[in-house]
């Protein structure tokens, strides 16, 4: 069986679509016969719950052997193919955070995650939950949960990551333009260059 056949016939692609699927991902997803979009949530606290809904739906209502869960801000690249061809029961593409560094280099990021049914069934729910402390997102929770169930999640392949960014023009001769990601924009103090309402 070719990799292409494996990808199209035996993988359920589930896209967590909170802000709208980016066009790169939408084009790439067209190769999958089995593609379903799940509503995400703008509230960050709602993301683990949305991931749990995907896993539960896959476990209870889908019959395919593989689940590929991707966030709507993932941008597939050539290296994403290595995730598709990976035979490990739990594999995740390497993802770069807005800091410019790889997210969760010592565990996995669940932004682009491929899981075999056996793992979904054996890991006890909730599969995803925010952990305690800064940086303890649902990726780390899932990794720990998977390890306790006897799995060893691996990193396989790469995927791009698209961030909404606002470019503020220089004002008062204060240097070049500034690039503010949405989360930073919300934290900006009232002074300084701001987008007009
Ligand atoms: Zn994470």
Domains of the chain: 3-161 (3.90.550.40), 164-197 (no CATH)
Q: How far is the CA of 26 from the centre of ligand 1 (A)?
A: 23
Of 194, 162, 164, the closest CA to residue 178 belongs to 194
Q: Please tell me the distance between residue 182's alpha carbon and the centre of ligand 1 in angstroms.
A: 17
Alpha-carbon gap, residue 179 to 170, rounded angstroms: 11
The arithmetic mean of pLDDT across residues 39-43, rounded, is 72
Q: What's the CA-to-centroid distance between 58 and ligand 1, angstroms?
A: 21
pLDDT of residue 122 exceeding 80: yes
**How does DSSP classify residue 30?**
T
Question: From the CA atom positions of the chain, what is the Rg in Å?
Answer: 18
Q: Rounded to the nearest 10 degrees, what angle do helices 46-61 and 138-148 cross at?
A: 40
* Rounded distance from Cα 109 to ligand 1 centre (Å): 5
pLDDT of residue 35: 96
Q: What pTM was computed for the model?
A: 0.84
Of all residues in the chain, the percent with pLDDT exceeding 90 is: 65
Which residues in 82-153 belong to E strands, given as ranges?
90-95, 112-116
Confidence bin at 59 (pLDDT 50/70/90)? very high
Cα 3 to ligand 1 centre (Å): 28
Cα distances (Å, whole numbers) of residue 32 to 8, 40, 92, 147, 192: 5, 21, 18, 29, 47
Give the pLDDT band of residue 187 (cuts 50, 70, 90).
low
Which helix (DSSP H) or strand (DSSP E) does residue 187 occupy? helix 182-187
Ligand 1 mean position to 125 CA, how many Å? 18
Rounded distance from Cα 142 to ligand 1 centre (Å): 10
Q: pLDDT tens digits, residue range 139-155?
A: 999 999 999 999 999 99
Residue count of the chain: 197
């Amino acid at each position: 069986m070719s990799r292409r056949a494996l990808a199209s016939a035996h993988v359920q692609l589930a896209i967590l679509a909170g802000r709208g699927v980016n066009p790169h991902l939408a084009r790439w997803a067209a190769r999958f016969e089995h593609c379903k979009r799940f509503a995400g949530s703008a509230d960050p606290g709602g993301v683990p719950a949305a991931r749990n809904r995907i896993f539960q739906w896959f476990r209870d209502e889908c019959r395919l052997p593989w689940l590929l869960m991707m966030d709507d801000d993932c941008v597939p690249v050539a290296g994403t193919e290595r995730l598709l061809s990976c035979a490990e029961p739990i594999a995740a593409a390497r993802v770069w955070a807005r800091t410019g560094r790889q997210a969760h280099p010592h565990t996995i990021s669940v932004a682009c995650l491929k899981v075999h049914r056996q793992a979904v069934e054996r890991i006890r729910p909730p599969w995803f939950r925010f952990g305690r402390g800064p940086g303890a997102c649902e990726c780390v929770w899932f990794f720990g949960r998977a390890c306790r169930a006897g799995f060893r999640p691996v990193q396989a392949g790469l995927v791009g990551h698209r961030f909404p960014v606002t470019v503020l023009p220089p004002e008062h001769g204060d240097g070049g333009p500034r690039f503010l990601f949405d989360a930073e924009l919300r934290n900006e103090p009232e002074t300084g260059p701001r987008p007009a309402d």
